[in-house]
Structure 1
C-alpha cells in the first residue's frame, strides 16, 4: 500500500505538513504587517513542522528573516544551505559564538557578559558580530531590566567602537499580546519606546526595532516597528483564538496528524477501556484502536472518561472522542455503531475547513495551548511534506 503520492508503504501514523500553507500564511502575514519586514520563527523544529522545509517555505512566502531560539538550530539551517538573515537569541555563558559569527548568524545579548563573550569571539575570528540588544520591558524573562539597560547599551557601543560588534537591532517581547487590551501591552510598548530613545541618545543606530510576536502582528499594529516576529501564525494557528480565528485572517493550518486504525472490535455494554477503566461503554459498541500515544506526542490530558470528554478525532467522517486513558503508544475511540475497519484513516487534528478537528480543539480538550500541541509530536513519527518542492534550495 502506498500513499497518494506514490512514495512507498504508508506508515501506521504520520505528521503531514503542507508547505504551501506555510508559504501562503507568511505571504498573508507579510501583506498585513507591511511595511514592516517579517521574521518567521522556526525554533523548536519549526514548531514541530520541520526546521529546514518550513524555513524554505517561509522564505518562499516572503520572510526576509528567520529566527531560532537556540544557536544549534540556526547552525543546522546554515549547514542545510539556508541563506538570508538569521537570528538566534537564547544563550548561556560559553556559547558557540565563534561558530555563530562564522555562519553569519545575528546574535542577541541581554547582559554585559554576553557582549563581552561575543566581542571576544569577534576578535578571535576577525568577523564583526551583528548584535541585537534585548530589553525586558515587562515580561520578566530574558532581556536586560530597565535599570540595567544603560549599562548593556554602553557595553555594546564600546565593543562597536572597537569594530567588534555592530548593534543592528533593539528588541523586546510582549507578555500579554494574546490578550488584546491588557494594560501590560501599553506599558511594555512605552518602556520599549523609552529604551530605544535612551539607546539612540547614547549613540546607537539600529537597523531594526522589533517587539511584535504573532499575536501583536494580528492585534497591535502600533507594535510592528521595522520587523515582526511571526511564529504560530505562520503555521496557520491563532495565538488569540478567543478573538481571531485563522480563517478570519486568511490563514490555514499546515500540520495534520493522521493514523490508520490498528484494530476494530465489537464489545458489550459495560466494557472497561484502557488503564484504570476511566471509560466504560454504556451499550454494546465498536471500539477502534489508534496506534499513537504519549510517546508520540499525544497528550495524556486528552484522555476521556465516562463522565468527561476526551480529545476529538475524525473517523469515517464522524468526530468521536478519545475513550479512556491515552497510553504510551495507543489510545481507543468508541465508534458506537459506525462502520469502520482496520486500516481506515483517523485524523487527530488538521484543517477545520475540511471538517477535521483543529489543534486548537485539542488544546481546549487538554487544557493547554495550540503551541504545545503541534510542537510535541515526536521524531519517531515520519513527516510527510505536501508541496515538497518548496523544501528544495532556491
Structure 2
C-alpha cells in the first residue's frame, strides 16, 4: 500500500483535503497575526505602558490554559471538524467585536479604557484553547501515517508564511490605512478560513480509550506525557525557551523607543522570525533531518536564546532584523521535531489530550511569556529583561541536555 502513496517533498500537498485544511489554517493564522499586531499597537497607543502589553498575553493565556485539558478530552470524543468550525466561528465573532469597538473610538475608550479589548481577547483565548487540540488531532485523519513528517513540515511552512504576511500586514495596515480597516481585513480572512474548513469532509473518531469518566480520561493523557521522556523533554524545552526567551511582547517598545521605526517597522520586526522559520522549513522539506535529532534540537534552542541576547543589545534596525530572522530559523527546527515526535509517538485516540498538554506547555507559554516580559521590563528595564530571558533559555537547555539522556541520544524521529 505504501508504494501507491504520493512521494517526494510535495507528497502531502497532493491530498485535496489536506490542502483545504492547511489553506483554512493559513487564513485563520493570517487573521490572528494581523489582529495581534493591531491589538498590541492599539493598546500601547492608548496606555503607553509596557505592562499593558504583557496583560494582553495574560488575558488570552488564562482561559486558554483553563480549558485546555478538557478541550483535549473533547477532541478525542467529539468530531474534530465540528469543534474547529465552532472555534473559528467564535474567533470571527471576536474579530467583528474588535472592529465594532473602533467605529466610535473616542468616547468608547475614554469611558472603558482597554478593558473591552482584554475581554474580547479572553473569549478568543477560550476558542483557541479548544481549537489547538482539534487542529492537531484532525490533521492525521487526513493523511497516511507515512506522510506525517512531510505534512507537519508543510503545515509549519504555511503557518510561518501566514505569520510573516500577517505580522507585516498588521503593522502596515495599522500605520497606513488605520485600525478600522485592519480589523476589517481580520474579519474577512477569518470568514474565508471558516468557509474553507467547511469543505473538508467529516472524519470518524478513533475508538475511545477504556477509561471511565472525563477526569480519568484527562489523567490518562497527562500520564502518557509525563511517562514518555522524549515527549516530556521536548515540550519542556520549548516551554522555558518561549517563556523566558521571547521578546515579542516588547517589540512595540523596541520599535518606538530604541529602533525608532514606528508601526510599519513593528510589523517587519514581528515578521522577521517567521521569515527565518519559513526559509528553514522550506529547507527541511527538501533536506529532512536524518540523524542527531536530539542534539540538533538542543543546539537550536540554545541558539534561539543567544539571538534574544544579541537582539537586546542591538540598537540598529537592520542588525536586529537579521538576528530575529536567525531566531526564527532556530525555532522552526524545534517546532518540526516536537510536532513529529508528538504525532508519531501518540496513539490516535489520545492525540487530542496529548496535544492539549503540549498546548499548555508550549502554546500558552507564548502568552504567559508576554506577561513575564511585561513584568520583567517594568522591574528591570526593557533591554536587561530580554538579556535575562535569553540567559535563562540557555541555562534551561544546559539542564535539559544534562538530565535527558534519551533526548541527547535521539537520532531520528520515525
Both proteins in one fold, TM over 0.5: no
TM-score by length of structure 2 reads 0.20
Whose helix fraction is larger, Structure 1's or Structure 2's? 2
Whose strand fraction is larger, Structure 1's or Structure 2's? 1
Larger Rg: 1
TM-score by length of structure 1 reads 0.20
